[in-house]
Amino acid sequence: MKARDYLWCALNLMLDREEALDRLCPRCRQRAEEARCPVCGAPAGEWTEGHNAAFDEARYERLKRGERP
């Protein structure tokens, strides 16, 4: 595909989404436009991008200094 083909696809995806949102009542449209978790559908709220809750900062620091785990 050429760059113009990707642009055409992206534009049509945006238009399709806008058409789907236009069919909703104002309350449902507002809810559909909210940021939500793709897994459970709960509001995403404030969260830090790229934060890994399982990351062990202390272990990382030990390994960075060359210590054994």
pLDDT of 57-69, one tens digit each?
Answer: 899 999 999 988 6
Q: Domain containing 18: what range? A: 3-64
Q: Is there a domain that residue 69 lies in?
A: no
What confidence tens digit (pLDDT) does each residue in 4-27 have?
999 999 999 999 999 999 999 999
Q: Exposure pattern of 22-53 as b/e (b: 16+ CB <10 Å)?
A: eeeeeeeeeeeeeeeeeeeeeeeeeeeeeeee
41 is a domain residue: yes
Give the count of domains, the chain.
1
Residue 15 is assigned to a structural domain of this protein: yes
pTM: 0.49
| The two structure tokens encoding residue 9 | 């696809």
